[in-house]
Amino acid sequence: MSAGTSIGGTRAVELAVGGMTCAACAARVERKLNKLDGVTARVNYATEKAAVEAPPGVGVDALIAEVERAGYRAELVEPGGPGAEPDDGQVRYLWRRLVVALLLGAPLADLSITMALVPSLRFPGWQWLLLAMTVPVATWCAWPFHRKALVNARHGTSSMDTLVSLGIIAASCWSVYTIFAHGEASAPTDGAWGLLLRPGGSVYLDVAAGVTTFVLAGRLFEAKAKHRAGGALRALAAIGAKDVAVLRDGREHRVPVAELRVDEHFVVRPGETIATDGEVLHGHCAVDASTMTGESAPVEVSPGDAVVGGTVALSGRVVVRATRVGADTQLAQLVRLVERAQTDKAGIQRLADRISGWFVPAVCGLAVLTFLAWWLLDAPAEEAFNAALAVLIIACPCALGLATPTALLAASGRGAQLGIFIKSHQALESARAIDTVVLDKTGTLTTGRMTVVDVRPAPGVDRATLLRHAGAVEDASEHVVARAVSDLARRELDELPAVADFTSLAGLGACGVVDGRAVLVGSARMLAECGVTVPDDLDEQRTRWEADGRTTVVVAVDDAVAGVLAVADAVKPSAARAVARLHRLGLRTALLTGDNEATARAVAAEVGIDDVLAEVLPADKAATIQELRERGRTVAMVGDGVNDAPALARADLGLAVVTGTDVALGAADLILVRDDLDVVPSAVSLARATLGTIRGNLVWAFGYNVAALPLAAFGLLNPLIGAGAMALSSLFVVTNSLRLRRFGAQPQAAG
């Protein structure tokens, strides 16, 4: 059995935990695991997983045994393997019991109300009929609660199931006692209002059945809601190809994807899913990356471009070299990161867990005190029992336990659909406090590729002729600037003539013969050394471009200047729009780069960034972030390169573009899958929406219990109404959380 991955001398192990029914259960498992020497565990009730860091001396079997001693089930989630699927068997298990509870409980409730409101309709033995209808509901249907309460009692603990089980048993036993002791006198006698608020009688069979039905319905809804909330991640994990056409010995062989190895070549045809991460060797095609990035527009790929497993080829046949397979693919790593994040706990969730841990025994104590207080005040025993029973039932902290994890689970799934992978839920809390967003330039704000951004032909020279001569010479060079010129020429002209007598002049440019004419392409300095003078108007344009931080290329044909080109690392099309959205969110923006001041300010002005931090050495980027924090700023850093990793780690919130290096991805809190800077404000908006949802959930959950408990203790709530209110409270919390699945990534108000 695998023991998980190694982290700094400890092993990171993930366990799927079964049998938990509330946040108190998760807190108990967590406490049990943390009692083992050197073990640090975090248990999440919503995902039913435990993230454990254990020293070498503590084996997986010992961890599982400790969970089982707490009264729960556990199994290892293998690294790189699929996460544990939600327990559909549990859904069916609850559904069968709920159906029986409804079939018996509905007529039981009708009959109880009829007997209470119309005493003349009572018939001999009506109590026994009620009892016969109640027994299956209070025993078989309620068995999940009784079983868990027994397990808790055996381990000297309690949970929400303890409250439910005690309430059902108490209501049933008191009713049986009343039937035997008082017979006909046991019916409520004060009409409908008394039935809702303070029933004067003492038969609570309808309460026992009603509590069972309401709580079963709530549990069933929770189980289905957790399944839906994680649906986006399960769909993402399942999009991979099942088989692949591998090229071996010059022939195609269709094999399962699991047999594909690194550096093997495979074929992708139109309509097929790309089997794994790789590099295109031959062919061109359009790729639908929407499943990974959420972008609807296809991406054109050609030889040398990277492709990601799980995306779909729309047109064209390509041959791809596998660069990563299995658990090492980008898709597998991202899904694994999010699954681990879902087991992580935000601080606000830990608070709710701690409250749930002591809430159950406190409620049991309050129920006893309520009964004693009414009894000492000479109230009838049935009224004292009614008040105590209402306290017991209405206080179940379902909503409290669900308030945070369901919102975080829904946010993770929706974020994955939008191209935002959340590595840590702590990042969601950090994002709300952010007031400054610092963006790296190269590869983050810009494309990271040199592109011709402006062309100025000399008088009497047309653009096509200029590009024909310049492109032919630069096509023979490997320099990044030359590649930018030749790429533009090929796009506009399709074909380029051959160049003769090509010579590369390192750091200056190149020369050659095109169509029988001598062509020089390079810097103004190179042309000056060759005796070629740049006309004043073109030289002024060149000077302005260079002042804006652009690289200039001068082209001369037969010793006469034919034109000037400006080359730059082009700003991403989405950059200005994303910066504007950040400003609407109330955030200040800053550009952080090692480039010169002129280039940095030109880029900042183009996209609307507020502050410029230029000529910052890679080693100083983290220190610059720290300086901003010391000035009272709460900083988010967006980057992609190795030199950005320290700054990403130092920032309050690190966001890494997925096209960046593994080091940057490892240092970040959020990973942005789409090559579109719009995901940056979307990530902040999602974080704010999630925190707002959690706050709303907790206010409701705390407020409900705070308001309901005194009413119940003073005898102003029927236990049956309390059970219904408890179920509706959980329903509100889960439904409110699931609204995040429809989050549209629209700008949220600052704050």
pLDDT in tens, 476-515: 876 767 888 988 998 888 788 888 988 877 557 888 999 8
Using the structure block, give the residue that is written with the tokens 């030109």: 602
Phi, psi of 703 (to 5 degrees): -60, -40
> Residue 620: its pLDDT value, please?
79
- Residue (of 737, 751, 739) closest to 700 by Cα position: 737
**Which helix H or strand E contains 369, and what residues bound it?**
helix 347-376
Q: What is the rounded CA–CA span in Å between residue 561 and residue 538? A: 9
Tokens in use for 468?
């024909």
> Which one-letter amino acid corresponds to residue 305?
D
Residues 6+ apart with CB under 8 A from 514: 468, 469, 472, 473, 497, 498, 499, 500
Tokens in use for 454?
């402006």
**Which helix H or strand E contains 447, and what residues bound it?**
strand 446-457
Stronger pLDDT, 457 or 80, i.e. the higher one: 457
Task: Provide the percentage of residues in the chain whose pLDDT is more than 90.
Answer: 13
State the average pLDDT over residues 636-654. Answer: 76
Q: What is the rounded CA–CA span in Å between residue 89 and residue 521? A: 72
- Strand-pairing partners, residue 592, are 440, 613
pLDDT-derived band of residue 166, with 50, 70 and 90 as boundaries?
confident
440 tagged catalytic = yes
Number of Cβ within a 10 Å radius of residue 81: 13
583 close to 750: Cβ distance less than 8 angstroms: no
pLDDT-derived band of residue 745, with 50, 70 and 90 as boundaries?
very low
Tokens in use for 369?
């005190």
Using the structure block, give the residue that is written with the tokens 């700008």: 747
b/e code 515-539 from CB counts within 10 Å (16+ = b) = eeeebbbbbbebbeebebebeeebb
> Residue 544: its pLDDT value, please?
86
342 close to 44: Cβ distance less than 8 angstroms: yes
Q: What is the rounded CA–CA span in Å between residue 591 and residue 154? A: 61
pLDDT in tens, 201-245: 456 787 788 778 877 876 776 666 556 545 545 555 566 778 889
> Residue 749: its pLDDT value, please?
39
Tell me: pLDDT of 130 over 60. yes
Residue 716 half-sphere exposure toward CB, CA atoms < 13 A = 6
Percent helix, strand, coil in the chain, to 5, is 55, 20, 25
pLDDT-derived band of residue 190, with 50, 70 and 90 as boundaries?
very low
Stronger pLDDT, 619 or 136, i.e. the higher one: 136
pLDDT-derived band of residue 723, with 50, 70 and 90 as boundaries?
low
Tell me: pLDDT of 469 over 50. yes
Where does 55-124 show beta strands of DSSP type E?
73-76
Burial of 135 (0-12, 13-18, 19+ CB in 10 A): middle
- Residue (of 203, 209, 204, 208) closest to 186 by Cα position: 203
Phi, psi of 49 (to 5 degrees): -135, 155
Q: What is the dihedral of CA 597, 602, 603, 604, to 10 degrees?
A: 80
> Residue 11: its pLDDT value, please?
78
Phi, psi of 170 (to 5 degrees): -65, -45
Q: What is the rounded CA–CA span in Å between residue 39 and residue 241? A: 38
- Catalytic choice (161, 206, 344, 440): 440
Tokens in use for 149?
């309460």
Q: Are strands 40-44 and 49-54 parallel, antiparallel or unpaired?
A: antiparallel
512 close to 556: Cβ distance less than 8 angstroms: no
